[in-house]
Amino acid sequence: MRTAGNQEPGKMSGSRVIFYYDVVCPFAYMASRLVEAMAQRTGADVVWRPVLLGGMYDLIKAPQGKSGSATHTMSPAKLKMQAEDLRRQLARRGVPYRDPTHFPQKTVYAMRILAGVKDQRTRIALSHDLYRVSLSLCCICN
């Protein structure tokens, strides 16, 4: 069966997805695993673009500041609900996780290195390595 343009259903040949991420964020870690699976299923091309989350917080004058986490501005009830939701979503998708011992970590140097890597395959591999190394110290295991 083919769709318009003689394309197989579920295939996004020629489609491009830009994935913005910071290796400090457990939600971005989960998304990194999901975006790769989506690309394999659909044939879409994924471009990984590192962004410094703290720099974005600083730019928009976020209440937690550039060195904080959005979780620092949440009420205890919302923080608990978000943590439970994150654990459920990670477990549902089979992504290994453990609660943070130190969060957030400063990733400015890691993100600068990633921004300097132009080859996408190298950037993706290095990103996975950085998730394993830097986030294994705070929340991600594997």
4-8, 11-15, 66-70, 83-87, range with the lowest pLDDT:
4-8
Q: Which residue has the higher pLDDT, 32 or 61?
A: 32
Reported pTM: 0.68
- CATH number, residue 76: 3.40.30.10
Domain that holds residue 29: 16-132
Tokens 């919302």 found at: 78
Give 39-62 pLDDT, tens digit per residue.
999 999 999 999 987 777 677 676
Do the domain assignments include residue 9?
no
**Quick check: 134 and 103 in contact, CB under 8 A?**
no
* 62 found inside a domain: yes
Q: Is residue 126 one of the residues assigned to a domain?
A: yes
User: What tens digit of pLDDT does each residue of 12-23 get?
Assistant: 567 899 999 988
Number of domains in the chain: 1
**Cα(32)–Cα(23) distance, rounded to whole angstroms?**
10
10 found inside a domain: no
Q: Is residue 71 part of a domain?
A: yes
